[in-house]
Amino acid sequence: MSQYGAIMASAEFVRVLSFFKALSDESRLKIVGALAANDRSVEELATLLDLRAPTVSHHLAKLKEIGLVDMRSEGTTHIYRINMSEMRTLAKRVLALDTIETLGEDLVEDAWDRKILGDFFEGQRLKEIPASRKKREVILRWLADRFQFDKRYPEKEVNTIIAKHHPDFATLRRELIGARLLARESGVYWRP
């Protein structure tokens, strides 16, 4: 089982999430700030932040894990240093516009459509016309799919096709036009 939910998230998603998690804690932000000014030992950071050494050690481990800091030993003392180039690299990547767009790409995009269709259809029959625009949209898209792209339909045939699914074909036909899912000119309809 993945650390980040049931559905395997993309590597990029995990990277972005780890970055934000690493910096979303008050103590860790202060550590980053303190290291931005100077390299420092664990004990020094603990004194500066008024925390015990194990706590600081714990935070430093998290920052080190994603490469935001690195460590060198001097005898028994461990001196931590901020890794500015990694900071810049991660920050830039995380904030890129196209990265933000990838964040949603593991979602099952049509789950919503399937749910609405399931809720409002009984077999081929539309139980009712949804009141909310968002839901009506889904129904209308589905209805539009009953028409072929390369064919021209007389109004009578449009009505027949819609009426197979719901008696109020007039309203639905009008809505299809309004949503520009069907087009009409002098009594002939087609799918634009």
CB of 68 to a second copy, least distance (A): 10
Of 96-155, which residues contact DNA (CB under 7 A)?
Answer: 130-132, 135
- Beta sheet of 152-154, edge-to-edge order: 152-154, 188-190, 183-185
Nearest to DNA of 53, 107 (CB atom): 53
Contact 31, 60 (CB under 8 A): yes
Residue 1 binding target from a second copy, DNA, none, CB below 5 to 8 Å by type: none
Residue 59 binding target from DNA, a second copy, none, CB below 5 to 8 Å by type: DNA
CA distances from 38 to 45, 59, 74, 75, 79 (A): 11, 17, 16, 19, 10
CA 124: distance to chain centroid? 32
CA 190 to CA 35: how far, in whole Å?
A: 66
Q: Which range, of 55-63, 93-101, 147-155, 161-169, touches a second copy by CB under 8 A?
A: 93-101
**Residue 132 near a second copy by CB under 8 A:** yes
Per DSSP, the three-state class of 184 is: strand
Contact 184, 153 (CB under 8 A): no
Which residues lie near DNA (CB under 7 A)? 21, 24-27, 41-43, 51-62, 71, 73, 75-79, 130-132, 135
Which residues lie near a second copy (CB under 8 A)? 4-5, 9, 13, 16-17, 20-21, 23-24, 26, 29-30, 32-37, 41, 43-44, 47-50, 74-77, 79, 84, 87-88, 91-92, 95, 97, 100-109, 111-112, 115, 131-134
